[in-house]
Structure 1
Amino acid sequence: MKQRANGEGTIYQRKDGRWVACITIEYGKRKSLYFKTQKEAIQALKDLPHWKGQDPSFIGKDPTIEFFLKLWLEDIAQPRIRERTYLRYQGLVEQHIIPMIGTIKLQKLMPQQLQQLYNEKRREGYAPQTIKHIHRVLHRAFHDALRWNLIERNVCDAVDAPRVPKYEAQVLNHVEACTFLQAAQGDPYEAIYVLALTTGMRQGELLGLQWKDLSLNGDRLQIRRTIGRIGKQGFIIGEPKSAKSRRNIYLTEMAIKALKKHRERQQEQQRLAGPAWDDQGHRWIFCNQIGRPIEVGNIIRRSFKPLLKKAGVPEIRFHDLRHSTATLLLSMNIHPKIVQEMLGHSSIHHTMDTYSHVLPSLQKEAVTQLNSLFSTQMPT
């Protein structure tokens, strides 16, 4: 490890095996923070610039939960997470957490008070998923407080997160998928439905596509960004959900044809819009009549739901098109690893867990094939 400059802090290991990160907080005063591993101590010093310059009483005294969470959001959470995630965290903290427990001292928070927070949100009619998000934000924030020796334990560990009923996605089978795409022919958003069902891309990934993401010969797309509206913040362009979400996707002939037709339609729209066309240099593949990002609500209300009704297929969510793609691929015996890569899941375990409902039929088919193999090879 290279030598650290003055003020950067030092790291060493005690005889009892613990690691110490020693930092200067004010007037040359030194403070030692203790960790189980060297990795945790190194991370503490990496976080030091975010805390340095803040009120030194933050470390020396017990702050309120409001004070801690606001500092944590701005100086620790924001540099680590995507902007959309940060804005969601900020909304949960300001709307739900601070009003109820913000004045409590960080070290004085009790499990019962946390449970009261969750119970009150349930009485107010919030979904279990929202309450669980609150729990996760607090757990993550208190984990950092614990690393910094600001608290002796993570009080969230003593409170059970609300149980969220597992959502069983409603998917289109291959006949329904074809029927839906037939109904979408000629629709201004036909290409987005074709891509959704033939690539499994997420909604934000589809709407974040730009023409430069299409390969020169037009046979594959590169996922580089997402876009979505976040309340009053407007449209937020962000990074893909995970490192695995940055991926190349090969296109079917149907998708290539749909994109070519869509581009011709868009070029005509641009010609008609004239000077009003303002894509701000992004050249979105899917945009409104003047080149700006599309309002998702408009697509769902004016196009997607009417097309589902027209096709006579189940009224699914837009995201269920992605689930439909995955289910169709797995039912065609496409290897789960390929499905994971197409969908941009962070791990194959996530793919298998999400689509476990498809596995029994695959196992039955596998047994049938094994039975056929041995019955032809073994004498009767």
Structure 2
Amino acid sequence: MTRRANNEGSVFQRKDGRWVAAITLGYAGGRLRRKSAIAVTKADAKRRLRELQQAAEQGLALAPDPTLADYLRKWLAEAAPRTLRPRTLAGYTSIVERHLIPALGRIRLCKLHPGDIDTYLNRVVESGLTTRTAQYHHAVLRRALGQAERWGYVGRNVARLVTPAQVRQRDMAPLTPDQARLFLAGIASDRLQALYAVSLSLGLRQGEALGLTWADVDLDARTITVRRTLQRYCGAYHLDDPKTQRSRRTISLPAPLAEALRQHRVRQNEERLRAGPLWAGDWNLLFCNEIGNPLAGAEVTRRFQAKLIALGLPRQRFHDLRHAAATFLLAQGVPLRVVMEILGHSTITTTANVYGHVLPELQRDAMDGQGAYLFGS
């Protein structure tokens, strides 16, 4: 009988009907080492076998019994960069190095138990971090262990067996139309007036608004095109691709907003002249600081909230300007799909779920109009 060579695999069916993909990795310490993965169908088992073989060839499956720390660092270095955006990768790296490895890193990967993860998530919340932060940590671990399962390190992703605490949905209370008009009147002389007006009118995400360049604006055609988003990570600013493909979009500008941007361009040119050689001309940002560099999102939010206090308006997150824009559009009877396209949501379901609280009132208005049309009352 011919012996199988290292990394040569096999696929076979178990008595319970499930399929097994297995490879031989050779001897270590006098013991034959194997890797296997369970699949539901034969086709899936063949796919898992190819993944195991590829992992073995790359040296991924050769480390005997790695700790969770060793595995997470390998995942961050070799797999995560292929599927994660740079800022997301930086955030994942921070969570792994600052939280997951100190708490769980010494545990052998194959010994990690759902109870270990449950205990960890409870301690995250007890330490003062939010339930949403705990959910994010769980999501990172679940994604990492999913790759471990595909590579054949583990037979199952134990993070999938853990349900983190649910986050209470925050009640949405954006500015009312009257409050929005008061806000716009109160920022007329503010340096960031055009930024606030764009965000409130078009519902851009903060990173999208701060990532706009003058090349993205056509004041004659009255359009703005979202092509990039401003992100800060690894100690520097970056203009990255938007959140999703649908986030790349061209939006028409209301005439008053186009005029506000013309005035904003005049003021920015005056600042450029005053700054002289200090002006950071390479960015060409629509909204920047006094010498042309990117605006810090946290500072923009702080100034926005200070302006609200000065005007006697309720406290808002900067992102609530986006919610206000969507609510105003829906209240005017703009179709949900058009609102979806303006906001850059990936699906209409997202728009409906986020702004579902507005729809019953619109339905009532529509039926009142239907009654007047049909019955004259």
Do the structures match in fold with TM over 0.5? yes
List aligned pairs for 1:299-314, cutoff 5 A.
Answer: 299-301=300-302, 303-314=303-314
List aligned pairs for 1:227-266, cutoff 5 A.
Answer: 227-230=230-233, 233-266=235-268
Distance 2:356 2:321 in 1: 17
Distance 2:201 2:49 in 1: 45
Give the 3-state SS of the residue equivalent to 1:248 in structure 2.
strand
Output the amino acid matched with 1:57. L
Shift of 1:44: 8.4
Match for residue 354 of structure 2? Answer: 354
Out of 165, 168, 173, the position equivalent to 1:165 is: 168
Cα–Cα, structure 1 residues 210 and 69, in superposed 2: closer, same or farther, change >3 Å?
same
Q: Is the contact between residue 186 and residue 311 of structure 2 (CA under 8 Å) also seen in structure 1?
A: yes
List aligned pairs for 1:163-312, cutoff 5 A.
Answer: 163-215=166-218, 217-230=220-233, 233-279=235-281, 281-301=282-302, 303-312=303-312
Output the amino acid matched with 2:257. A
Distance 1:331 1:11 in 2: 61
Distance 2:219 2:57 in 1: 49
Distance 2:292 2:175 in 1: 31
Cα–Cα, structure 1 residues 354 and 122, in superposed 2: closer, same or farther, change >3 Å?
same
Distance 1:315 1:189 in 2: 18
List aligned pairs for 1:98-117, cutoff 5 A.
Answer: 98-117=101-120
Output the amino acid matched with 1:254. P
Shift of 1:309: 2.5
Percent sequence identity over aligned pairs: 36
Cα displacement string for residues 266-292 of structure 1 (whole angstroms, at most 9, x for unaligned residues): 11111111111123x221111111111
Match for residue 3 of structure 2? Answer: none
Q: Is the contact between residue 208 and residue 226 of structure 2 (CA under 8 Å) also seen in structure 1?
A: yes
Match for residue 4 of structure 2? Answer: none
Shift of 1:26: 8.6
Output the amino acid matched with 1:329. L
After alignment, is 366-375 or 114-123 more displaced?
A: 366-375
Give the 3-state SS of the residue equivalent to 1:356 in structure 2.
coil
Match for residue 336 of structure 2? Answer: 336
Matched, 1:120 2:123: yes
Distance 2:185 2:8 in 1: 66
Distance 1:266 1:212 in 2: 15
Match for residue 5 of structure 1? Answer: none
Distance 1:69 1:264 in 2: 51
List aligned pairs for 1:64-79, cutoff 5 A.
Answer: 64-79=67-82
Match for residue 369 of structure 2? Answer: 369
TM-score by length of 1: 0.85
Q: Is the contact between residue 11 and residue 42 of structure 1 (CA under 8 Å) also seen in structure 2?
A: no
Cα–Cα, structure 1 residues 39 and 239, in superposed 2: closer, same or farther, change >3 Å?
farther
Give the 3-state SS of the residue equivalent to 2:218 in structure 1.
coil
Distance 2:245 2:367 in 1: 36
Cα displacement string for residues 214-272 of structure 1 (whole angstroms, at most 9, x for unaligned residues): 13735111111111333x52323321111111111111112211111111111111111
Distance 2:239 2:48 in 1: 29
Cα displacement string for residues 67-97 of structure 1 (whole angstroms, at most 9, x for unaligned residues): 1111111211112111111111111111111
Cα–Cα, structure 1 residues 341 and 225, in superposed 2: closer, same or farther, change >3 Å?
same
Cα–Cα, structure 1 residues 112 and 19, in superposed 2: closer, same or farther, change >3 Å?
closer
Q: Is the contact between residue 69 and residue 93 of structure 1 (CA under 8 Å) also seen in structure 2?
A: yes
Distance 1:145 1:278 in 2: 45
Q: What residue ranges of structure 2 are gaps of 5+ in the alignment?
A: 1-6, 28-32
Matched, 1:133 2:136: yes
Cα–Cα, structure 1 residues 251 and 87, in superposed 2: closer, same or farther, change >3 Å?
same
Matched, 1:320 2:325: no
Query: Which aligned runs of 4 or more in structure 1 are off by greater than 6 angstroms?
Result: 9-27, 29-32, 46-51
Cα displacement string for residues 131-180 of structure 1 (whole angstroms, at most 9, x for unaligned residues): 00011111111122222232122212322112111012220111111110
Distance 1:39 1:259 in 2: 56
Cα displacement string for residues 18-38 of structure 1 (whole angstroms, at most 9, x for unaligned residues): 8998989799x9977665575
Q: Is the contact between residue 11 and residue 20 of structure 1 (CA under 8 Å) also seen in structure 2?
A: no
Output the amino acid matched with 1:213. D
Q: Is the contact between residue 18 and residue 35 of structure 1 (CA under 8 Å) also seen in structure 2?
A: yes
TM-score by length of 2: 0.86
